[in-house]
């Protein structure tokens, strides 16, 4: 199942659909298709966020399932031991009761006149009588001691039984809780798997549409060395090497390109209007706009610590000061009471776990979702240094601040991963990026009267891509592929994946039904976007021919490479030789 999740993530993060292309005959009408794809697009973001975190959450859920199952077994074993102890203790109690009754009868007889009378009759002298009386008294004292001892033992046993019975009730309650959690976790996993199935269905429908597209030609100025590496004929060679440029997704502003422009004296406005064609900067009022960030944290919850300042527990009204610890439970809302207030979410998946603003926990036990809600400009403090090195050129940092502000302004409820924008909270705030945010405070990019969604990425490899060739939809004038020179400092500017021999490639391709062709004979790249992005790959083999998207081909190679390898296909802009 791990491969399926990765495939859908890769597909949606580099989706290539262009349903407005002329001359393409679809089974549905254009209006129906637009409605269907619009629905997919609306669901896509939340699904991608779920899937992007699904492996971590699934591992957490499965670990919780295993823990719950083990705990139930441990509890049941302890219950069995307790039941046996209670049973044995009850038997011993019955025995002590009989012993006490016997001793009481003996004591009664000794206290009665018959024993004394017998002692008097049997005495041959006064000394014998005294000795007999002493013996009788000593026997009586011994019986009393034994009775006291039995009473003490009985008391201990009765207390033990009460403790055991109390513990039994606790264990039964715990088992009930664990079983409910098991049911909740299983339901959560089933829910996620159903979403995966829905996305897989949508992916296959859209992928077929991609393969029917007729993209515009590659600009003549685009001289990427990989765009002419399009065919490998295995009748002439026995290996394949995949070489490429850049990183996903290639849409909007290249961060390495922005830094290169800043080094060449361009200001942040020049940078932004180059990568987002036809746009302009305009001052807006961002005060009072809050961003709701879904944190990549364990659904099992944990402790939230007041790291500094003071916060208010909205459910209890209690004011908590630094050092206070609160358990994450459904409905918990912790609100800052002063500018120094910071909260530590200990169950975050990584170490960037200290936050400004409010922490809000929703969901149910075992299925918690934790949000950080804070003002937009404060939110950017945790984004810009996570997305761009704080040591880079000031104008590049300012361009990054504006792009991140646009993205957050358009998407008020987002995640903290690269699926949205990287958000590290208060732990990674840096003076240089805070200054860039403050110097551009409230500035947004507009196209006409519209505030744009300003996508960005690390490295283009020399040319960015058109939006319809990346995520589909109507072509956007501000998201045209443009030249992006000066990216040579990027470690991803040019790259080469692992060279594969024919037998290894066949194993990889035949592991997936989309690319399985038996004995592979030929690989051909048949369609590219304006940046050189691979849109279609034709695979010919002994069992037939398969036409797949570049993203699908890339996925099949990457998912089969050994875990931890760095020799993977880094983007959809690649060539084969």
- Which two tokens mark 405? 């502000």
Number of other residues whose CB lies within 10 A of the CB of residue 515 = 21
Q: Which of 14-23, 213-222, 471-480 bottoms out in mean pLDDT, i.e. has the lowest?
A: 14-23
- DSSP summary character for residue 357: S
- Phi/psi at 401 (nearest 5 deg)? -60, -45
* Helix (H), strand (E) at residue 232: strand 231-233
Angle at CA of residue 474, ends 468 and 479, nearest 5°: 55
Question: Integer distance in angstroms from the first to the last C-alpha of the chain?
Answer: 31
Residue 337 CA to residue 148 CA, distance in Å, equals: 63
Are 513 and 3 in contact by the 8 Å Cβ rule? The answer is: no
- 309-350 pLDDT, tens per residue? 999 999 999 999 999 999 999 999 999 999 999 999 999 988
- Percent of the chain exceeding pLDDT 90 equals 53
Instruction: Of 242, 423, 431, 436, give the one whose Cα is nearest residue 350.
Output: 423
- pLDDT at position 103, please? 61
Cβ-proximal residues to 123 (8 Å cutoff; 6+ apart), any chain: 129, 132
Instruction: Of 425, 437, 362, give the one whose Cα is nearest residue 398.
Output: 437
DSSP annotation string for 242-300:
EEE-S-S---SEEHHHHHHHHHTT--HHHHHHHHSTT-EEEE---TT-EEEEE--B-TT
Residue 479 CA to residue 530 CA, distance in Å, equals: 12
Residue 13 CA to residue 570 CA, distance in Å, equals: 13
Name, of 100-109, 135-144, 175-184, 433-442, the range with top average pLDDT.
433-442
Residue 250 CA to residue 492 CA, distance in Å, equals: 12
Residue 266 CA to residue 260 CA, distance in Å, equals: 9
The tokens 């990216």 sit on which residue? 487
Who wins on pLDDT, 94 or 269?
A: 269
Are 21 and 214 in contact by the 8 Å Cβ rule? The answer is: yes
Residue 5 CA to residue 389 CA, distance in Å, equals: 30
Q: What is the mean pLDDT of residues 376-384?
A: 97
Are 376 and 409 in contact by the 8 Å Cβ rule? The answer is: yes
CA dihedral 58→59→60→62, nearest 10 degrees, is 80
Residue 558 CA to residue 232 CA, distance in Å, equals: 19
- Which two tokens mark 367? 């299925």
- pLDDT at position 16, please? 32
pLDDT band at 176 (very low <50, low <70, confident <90, very high): low
- Which two tokens mark 466? 């058109």
- Tell whether the model's pLDDT for residue 59 goes beyond 80: no
Using DSSP's 3-state secondary structure scheme, residue 162 falls into helix
Task: Report strand pairing: 242-244 vs 574-576.
Answer: antiparallel
- pLDDT at position 249, please? 87
- 510-554 pLDDT, tens per residue? 999 999 999 999 999 999 999 999 989 999 999 999 999 888 899
Q: What is the mean pLDDT of residues 156-183?
A: 68
- Which two tokens mark 273? 């209007």
Q: Return mean pLDDT, the chain.
A: 80
Residue 232 CA to residue 238 CA, distance in Å, equals: 9
CA dihedral 496→501→503→509, nearest 10 degrees, is 20
Using DSSP's 3-state secondary structure scheme, residue 65 falls into helix
Long-range contacts of 23-31 (CB under 8 A, 24+ apart): 23/214, 24/209, 24/212, 24/213, 24/214, 26/209
- Which two tokens mark 247? 């990183």
- pLDDT at position 253, please? 97
- pLDDT at position 181, please? 59
Instruction: Of 211, 214, 209, 200, give the one whose Cα is nearest residue 30.
Output: 209
Using DSSP's 3-state secondary structure scheme, residue 423 falls into coil
The tokens 């409230």 sit on which residue? 442
Residue 473 CA to residue 33 CA, distance in Å, equals: 11
- Tell whether the model's pLDDT for residue 21 goes beyond 60: no
- pLDDT at position 39, please? 46
Is the four-CA dihedral 563, 566, 569, 570 of positive or negative sign? positive
Instruction: Of 329, 367, 364, 2, give the one whose Cα is nearest residue 185.
Output: 367
CA distances from 264 to 222, 256, 258, 396 (A): 21, 13, 10, 11
């Amino acid at each position: 199942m791990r491969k399926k999740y990765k495939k859908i993530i890769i597909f949606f993060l580099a989706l290539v659909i262009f349903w407005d292309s002329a001359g393409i005959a679809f089974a549905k009408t254009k209006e129906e298709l637009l409605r269907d794809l619009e629905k997919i697009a609306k669901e896509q973001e939340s699904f991608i966020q779920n899937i992007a975190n699904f492996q971590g959450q699934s591992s957490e859920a499965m670990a919780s399932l295993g823990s719950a199952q083990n705990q139930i077994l441990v509890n049941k074993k302890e219950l069995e031991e307790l039941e046996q102890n209670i049973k044995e203790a009850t038997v011993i109690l019955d025995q002590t009761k009989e012993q006490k009754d016997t001793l009481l009868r003996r004591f009664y007889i000794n206290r009665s006149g018959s024993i004394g009378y017998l002692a008097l009759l049997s005495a041959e002298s006064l000394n014998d009588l005294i000795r007999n009386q002493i013996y009788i008294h000593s026997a009586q004292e011994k019986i009393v001691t034994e009775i006291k001892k039995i009473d003490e033992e009985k008391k201990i046993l009765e207390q033990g039984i009460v403790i055991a019975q109390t513990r039994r009730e606790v264990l039964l309650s715990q088992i009930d809780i664990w079983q409910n959690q098991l049911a909740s976790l299983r339901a959560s996993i089933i829910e996620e798997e159903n979403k995966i199935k829905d996305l897989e269905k949508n992916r296959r429908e859209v992928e077929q549409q991609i393969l029917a597209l007729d993209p515009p030609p590659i600009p003549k100025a685009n001289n990427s060395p990989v765009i002419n590496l399009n065919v490998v004929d295995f009748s002439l060679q026995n290996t394949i090497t995949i070489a490429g440029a850049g990183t996903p997704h290639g849409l909007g502003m290249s961060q390495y390109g922005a830094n290169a422009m800043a080094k060449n004296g361009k200001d942040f406005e020049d940078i932004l209007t180059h990568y987002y064609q036809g746009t302009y900067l305009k001052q807006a009022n961002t005060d009072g706009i809050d961003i709701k960030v879904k944190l990549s944290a364990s659904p099992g919850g944990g402790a939230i610590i007041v790291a500094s300042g003071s916060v208010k527990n909205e459910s209890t009204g209690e004011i908590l000061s630094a050092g206070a610890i609160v358990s994450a439970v459904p409905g918990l809302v912790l609100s800052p009471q002063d500018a120094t207030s910071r909260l530590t979410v200990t169950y975050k998946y990584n170490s960037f776990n200290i936050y400004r603003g409010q922490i809000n926990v929703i969901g149910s036990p075992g299925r918690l979702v934790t949000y950080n809600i804070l003002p937009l400009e404060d939110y950017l403090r945790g984004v810009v240094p996570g997305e761009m090195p704080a040591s880079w050129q000031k104008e590049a940092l300012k361009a990054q601040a504006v792009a991140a502000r646009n993205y957050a302004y358009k998407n008020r409820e987002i995640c903290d991963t690269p699926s949205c924008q990287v958000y590290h909270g208060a732990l990674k705030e840096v003076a240089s990026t805070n200054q860039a945010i403050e110097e551009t405070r409230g500035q947004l990019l507009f196209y006409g009267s519209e505030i744009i969604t300003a996508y960005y990425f690390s490295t283009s490899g020399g040319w960015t891509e058109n939006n319809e060739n990346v995520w589909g939809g109507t072509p956007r004038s501000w998201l045209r592929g443009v030249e992006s020179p000066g990216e040579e400092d990027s470690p991803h500017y040019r790259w080469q994946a692992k060279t594969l021999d024919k037998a290894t490639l066949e194993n990889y391709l035949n592991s997936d039904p989309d690319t399985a062709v038996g004995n592979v004979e030929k690989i051909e790249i048949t369609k590219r976007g304006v940046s050189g992005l691979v849109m279609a790959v034709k695979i010919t083999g002994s069992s037939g021919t398969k036409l797949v998207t570049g993203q699908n081909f890339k996925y099949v190679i990457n998912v089969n490479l050994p875990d931890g390898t760095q020799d993977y296909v880094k983007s959809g802009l690649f060539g084969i030789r």
